[in-house]
Structure 1
């Protein structure tokens, strides 16, 4: 077997999903334990396994990190996340595909690579003192708008 580097080449982005779960005007966030954005609040998510559909990856990662179950509805957007060395060079580049999900059951319990997991009012994300990952507030608003449009 070939020796694999600790980190994949920064020349190729890594595809990952994030589960944007909305429940009663609140969004589920986790405080990340690992780079990128260790210590910051963001959406549950992770790398897509080979052959795994986006919706399945988002729901799987959501369950692994929080114990929450949800129904994946649709892709909303994609954002970049960079894991940088101390000198600022890119170690890893992730393309995070945001999958809007409707909560079905469960209360969040931090697991896997999450330090904490909680529901937050979407309206408070811009004004809160939370250390949010880039684009979290905007992606949460987009997801809430998509869910509102989808309701009869």
Structure 2
């Protein structure tokens, strides 16, 4: 029997490309298996919270930096992790911003924050089996690769 309609939970998240002298800021998080995962600062939006507000809040917690003048870069949208218990419809916003302050993460999951030269960013990416970490899906990194090359599109179906 085919399902004509189904309800998927919506996952909304925002991440920010923070750039300084040809380097991109990445956060280091420890996964359940003890490995280190590198990702963009940002994260899930709370119910009723805009993606922009989520970006500002999450960057502050994960890096200690205050971001201002948020500028929209890309929207990633589509079904993710189909057929798993983490199946969802994703709305991910990507922004750039002006920032100030000192690197001082307060998120207990963040073990480090690191400025990485553009040329080294893709070498840090590890793709893992979903549903462990959605951000390890290669499609999530295509917009970052494009951004680093100066070729970001405004919309990415995922």
TM range (shorter): 0.5 to 0.7
Q: CA deviation at 1:77?
A: 1.3
Q: Say which structure, 1 or 2, has more relative contact order (CA 8 Å, 6+ apart).
A: 1
Query: Which residue of structure 1 aligns with residue 147 of structure 2?
Result: 142
Cα distance change of structure 1 residues 51 and 91 upon mapping to structure 2, 3 Å threshold: closer
Q: CA-to-partner distance for each residue in 1:69-107, whole Å, 9 max, x for gaps?
A: 2224222113369568xxx72414343211212222222
Equivalent residue in structure 2 for 1:61, among 48, 58, 61: 58
* Structure 1: tracts of 5 or more residues without a match: 1-8, 147-152
Query: Which residue of structure 2 aligns with residue 125 of structure 1?
Result: 121
Equivalent residue in structure 2 for 1:17, among 14, 17, 24: 14
Between the two proteins, the alignment pairs up a number of residues equal to: 132
Query: Which residue of structure 1 aligns with residue 48 of structure 2?
Result: 51
**Two-structure CA RMSD over aligned residues (Å):** 3.4
What is the TM-score when the length of structure 2 is the normalising length?
0.63
What is the TM-score when the length of structure 1 is the normalising length?
0.65
Equivalent residue in structure 2 for 1:115, among 111, 115, 119: 111
